[in-house]
Amino acid sequence: MQVLIAFSLKRRFLNASTLLLNVLLALIITAAFFADEIVNFINPSLFDEQKVYLQVDEVVSEALMQMEMEGIVFETTDKSAAEIIEEDAKAYVLTHEENYQLITKYPIDETTQLLFNEILTSVHQNLALSEVLQEEALAYSQIQIQVENEAMQKDVDVDPNKQNLIFMIITSIYFTMLSFSTSVANEVVYEKSTRQLELILTSVSAKTHFLSKMLIGWLSILLQLGCTIFFVILAFLLRNSYDQGIGLIELINQLQLIHLEEKTFGALLGSIHVEGAFIFQCIFIFIFLMLGIIFVQMLLSIIASFVNSVEQAGSIQSPFYLILLAIYYFALSINTPYQLSEGIGFYCSFLPVLNMLLMPSRLLVQNVPIIELLLSASISIFAMIILFEKGSSIYQKGVLDYTGKGLMKIMQSMKGEKT
Amino acid sequence: MLKLEHVTKYYGEQVGIEDLSFSVHDGRILCLLGTNGSGKSTTFRLLLGLLQCDQGTISYHGEKLNFQDKCLFGYLPEEKSILRDLKVKDAVTYLAQLKKVEKIQIEKNMTYWLDYLNIEKYRNRKVQALSKGNVQLVQLVCALIHEPKILIFDEPLNGLDLENVALFKRLCWKLKKEGKILLISSHQYNNIEDLCDDVVVLHKGKCILKGSLRQLKKANKQRYITLFDENGDYEDERGVLEITQNNHSLILKMEDEKSAKALLRKYMRQENISYKIEMISLQQLIREALDASTHRILT
């Protein structure tokens, strides 16, 4: 089995395409760490504030200038609209004769137009209210009412950052699983279609070959993960030596991806307190990911063992991919605190394949009891053992069958086989 | 000695092999012959442990095969089964490593066999750059690298030119001399006839003929006369069972040697016609066995 694994890993990683892919990956990661510099190079004024010159009623003008709008600055001017735009092609000029007009050099999009409609409507409503209400009443009418949430279930954490993280994790797990399982399946199809398997199986049993395929897929993920982590660390160190990450953190805050208080990578690392619970969560997320991937790999390899040619592979495997896609959307749709705590998401987090997506989601929003984690992992392992035992004999039939009978007919013939 | 006793294999309701029994002694070459789908590949797969028998046993030197010794068999499959994007040395090394052969031994044996089969110069070349015949020779090296005691060659002459066919025959005789058991399947009966010690002919999963080729030939009294005479009329002659017209010759199937000799005496004196008289060939033996089998089924 060692020979099979070493040979396959060598073929997978030491080829021109994989090397090119990893070079591209390293470039993309480095580019991401220098995104602010790239943005400045391509479009230096991307984050400049939009200047709006006002040629409107004095009261409206004053009200607009008192407003705090992120990314928009209001200014008054005596110059004509044509002069302003000649000086600054990006400037907006707001004028009012019978109606409000926003004069720009190039047409604006509908969203910007709606934004100005909202701003002016709000200004006029406030001005109208200030005419009929006393100052105190006006101030009271403008108070922003805050609703506080008092949840009965204290241990469920609905943090928008965590929700984004869950979405990212589910998506990454799904695509990692699909990509690596597909490559294992394609390897099986290739070995079968070139009749290589007939030769290999004279040296190793079909069971060993099947198991080696699982381990190859698994080790490939770990190796690729290792490479990616290495590239990230390298890019991180590079950026840290460049400006301690100040520019990148600024960009992240500007884009409102995550709000970071810290200004440098050093400060950011210092603020991270790795708790035991977090490590525990990470370990279990990783375990469920790996169990799920092996399970899907097994299913795909069994299906692939009945495929006689590379051309056939797509049409036979695609229904399976559609099922996986349905599972992915299903996992996303039930990603709510209620569903994950006591709804269908809770129950599905104990099922093989589904637990790979749902248990990590549960771990991120609530404290999952260890017994539930172990139960879910045990169910998966148990299902995997059964699938391995049953699957390896089906796999053996499949890889040596060139009649194109298909999975169902071969399974039927296995049932009818004299023993 | 390799022995198969009442081996049966079904694919669901379909017969793969039914009640097949034969044995081959060390240092003998057995040709497993038959039409397409007759069960030759199934027999090989059963021997290699790729399939399991439904009934019967396979034993080697009196012990039931448990397929744990992966070095017992050397297999040359019918299809080109080696990775074409690998170099010859890497392809051979990979398959030898799967058989758990030591690196030093792999290197030594590889050099020997590449040299023996005149393909040493392709050692560092990719398999895909080789001709069909040379790929077949590389596959032969893969089958021999781990020094197996039993060799299974499925359609070994595919893609080989005349020179390589002769080389292959020399290899078979060498292996036979070393005491190895050779099982060969081929449709090129004329080419393998001089290799066969024993034959087993299969038809629809059943054995229709088996035994030592020499004895089978001896047991058949019929004689075949090849006459290089396209226009002669021999149909009504005594002892003529069948006439086959070839491109430049006629083949007369004669009842026995006596009638064959009588016919030759009668005609060869009169005209200057070239001829040869032969015992039944392997191809004709198989044809007769197939005809007899079909006749048995019909009656």
Q: What is the pLDDT of residue A403?
A: 60
Same domain, B46 and B126: yes
B287 lies in some domain: no
Nearest CA-CA distance, residue A205 and chain B, Å: 8
Nearest CA-CA distance, residue A352 and chain B, Å: 32
Q: What domains are there in chain A, each with its CATH number? A: 2-37+158-416 (no CATH), 50-139 (3.40.190.10)
Same domain, B39 and B10: yes
B98, B193, B220 from B213: Cα distances, Å: 36, 9, 11
B148 lies in some domain: yes
Cβ distance of B50 and A400 shorter than 8 Å: yes
* Chain B residues with CB-CB distance to A418 below 8 A: 8, 10, 54-55
Same domain, B242 and B161: no
Q: What is the rounded end-to-end Cα distance, in angstroms, of chain B?
A: 37
User: Which residues pair with residue B182 across a beta bridge?
Assistant: B29, B151
B290 lies in some domain: no
Question: Can you tell me the mean pLDDT for A143-156?
Answer: 75
Q: How many domains does chain B have?
A: 2
Q: What is the pLDDT of residue A417?
A: 47
Q: For residue B17, give the CATH number of its domain.
A: 3.40.50.300
Q: What is the pLDDT of residue A411?
A: 56
* Chain A residues with CB-CB distance to B8 below 8 A: 418
Same domain, B200 and B261: no
Same domain, B179 and B64: yes
What's the rounded Cα separation, in Å, for the pair A138 and A308? 78
Cβ distance of B83 and A413 shorter than 8 Å: no
* Chain B residues with CB-CB distance to A196 below 8 A: 81-83
User: Which of the listed residues B214, B233, B253 is the one where a domain comes to its end?
Assistant: B214
**Residue B296: enclosing H or E segment and its boundaries?**
helix B282-298
B137 lies in some domain: yes
Q: What is the pLDDT of residue A419?
A: 33
User: Which residues pair with residue A100 across a beta bridge?
Assistant: A96
B274 lies in some domain: yes
Same domain, B136 and B109: yes
Same domain, B69 and B182: yes
- Tens-place pLDDT, residues A303-327: 888 877 777 777 767 777 788 888 8
B285 lies in some domain: no
3-state secondary structure of B4: strand
Confidence label for A418 from pLDDT (cuts 50, 70 and 90): very low
B288 lies in some domain: no
What's the rounded Cα separation, in Å, for the pair A51 and A45? 12
- In chain A, the percentage of residues whose pLDDT exceeds 70 is 92
- Give yes or no for residue A259 having a pLDDT over 80: no
Same domain, B111 and B19: yes
Same domain, B230 and B188: no
B237 lies in some domain: yes
Confidence label for A157 from pLDDT (cuts 50, 70 and 90): low
Domain holding B255, by residue range, is: 221-279
Chains A and B form CB pairs within 8 A to the count of 62
| Predicted complex ipTM | 0.80
Same domain, B12 and B31: yes
pTM, entire model:
0.75
Cβ distance of B77 and A198 shorter than 8 Å: yes
Same domain, B150 and B259: no
Minimum-distance CB partner of B48 among A194, A202, A419: A202
Whether A306 contacts A396, CB under 8 Å:
no
Mutate which of A194, A201, A203 to test chain B, going by most B C-beta atoms within 10 A? Answer: A203
What's the rounded Cα separation, in Å, for the pair B84 and B130? 9
- Give yes or no for residue B102 having a pLDDT over 60: yes
Neighbours of A353 (CB within 10 A): 21
Question: Can you tell me the mean pLDDT for B70-87?
Answer: 85
Same domain, B245 and B178: no
What's the rounded Cα separation, in Å, for the pair B43 and B183? 11
B33, B52, B146, B152 from B49: Cα distances, Å: 20, 6, 17, 13
Nearest CA-CA distance, residue B49 and chain A, Å: 7
